[in-house]
Amino acid sequence: MDSLVIVDAANVVGSVPDGWWRDRHGAAERLRDALPGYVAQGLPGLVPPPLEMVLVVERAARGVESVEGVRVVPADGSGDDRIVQLVADECGGRDCLVVTADRELRERVQALGARVTGPRAVWGRERGGRRA
């Protein structure tokens, strides 16, 4: 069974002060478009390939569409609550990694058995993502 990687879009996009707040939808799309390569390559040192990639979006980014390799899941309310629900519903019995820097969310998903890493795992200069 493939590992599941859940990306907290709001937190990861917000980790780089590049003007994302002027276009939250566009910023979430840029993040989404940076993710498909990891599905086949894995996340070095964290998750071997292949993996299932889920991007959780909220508020103005809720209209972002899924693309091949990245399932986009909108949060009707709190993105953190939706991520916790996904971990509870989809991570039983398989490796699950949540990408976020949110301390409270980290604690909540770790209590359910998920591992956690920070935004640079998918959004860092060293892996071809955005410049930090």
Phi/psi-derived region of residue 128, left when phi > 0, alpha when psi is between -120 and 50, beta in every other case? left
First-to-final CA distance of the chain: 33
User: How confident is the model at residue 90, as a pLDDT?
Assistant: 96
Query: How would residue 129 be classed by pLDDT, with cut points 50, 70 and 90?
Result: very low
Share of the chain above pLDDT 90, in %: 78
Any idea which of 2-11, 68-77, 105-114, 117-126 has the lowest mean pLDDT? 117-126
What is the H or E stretch that residue 87 is in?
helix 79-90
Mean pLDDT along residues 79-84: 97
Q: What is the pLDDT of residue 14?
A: 87
pLDDT band for position 124 (cuts 50, 70, 90): low
DSSP-assigned states of every residue in 23-42: -HHHHHHHHHHHSHHHHHH-
The three-class DSSP label of residue 92 is coil
The rounded distance, in Å, linking the Cα atoms of 123 and 42 is 14
Report, as an integer, the average pLDDT of 111-124: 92
Q: What number of residues does the chain have?
A: 132
Q: What is the crossing angle of helices 79-90 and 103-110, to 10°?
A: 20
Question: What is the structure's pLDDT at 30?
Answer: 93
Calpha distance 39→76 (Å, rounded): 26
Q: What is the pLDDT confidence band of residue 21, given thresholds at 50, 70 and 90?
A: confident
% of the chain residues with pLDDT over 70: 92
